[in-house]
A = this chain, B = another copy of it.
Amino acid sequence: MSTIVSLNKALTEFYDKMASWESSVVRESEYSLAQIHTLEVLGNYGAMNMKSLANQLGITTGTLTVQVEKLVKLDLVKRQHSEDDRRSITVALTEAGQAIHEHHNALHLSLTEDLSKDLSENERHTLMALLNKVNQEF
């Protein structure tokens, strides 16, 4: 079997297992996958307007409006009208939202530690570097 086919299998398998892990982690929390994902994007990339956030999440702004409304009621995000464009609304994490993001991020880090526990420091670094090359090509 060619390297490319094996690599494809490995990448796909990783993606599937990661999705499964994420799903089970979220199921144990009191928030939905969509909600955690929203907090995750805001935490990782910082506050942004509705359009950018919807784009990053891969959903329409219509769907996002409803989602953000719920998160505002839960006091996890806040909305701020932009000063230079009054149509635009910036969505940002509240302190409570930030805390949840940090907790979720700690779970991710802990998973990464587990996954790479049999790798040498050199191997971890190589994997990271190769993945970064791959990520740039998307």
Contact = CB atoms under 8 A, between A and B. Distances in A.
Given A11-B112, A108-B12, A138-B21, A3 B121 contact: yes
Interface in A97-138: 108-109, 112-119, 121, 123-128, 130-135, 137-138
For the side of the interface on A, what is the size category? Answer: 35 or more
Number of this chain's copies in the complex: 2
Contacts of A8: 108-109, 112
Interface of A: 3-8, 10-15, 17-24, 44, 58, 108-109, 112-119, 121, 123-128, 130-135, 137-138
27 contacts: A3-B128, A4-B109, A4-B113, A4-B116, A5-B109, A6-B128, A7-B124, A7-B127, A8-B108, A8-B112, A10-B131, A11-B14, A14-B134, A15-B19, A17-B138, A19-B19, A20-B58, A21-B138, A114-B137, A115-B137, A115-B138, A116-B137, A118-B137, A119-B133, A126-B126, A126-B130, A127-B127
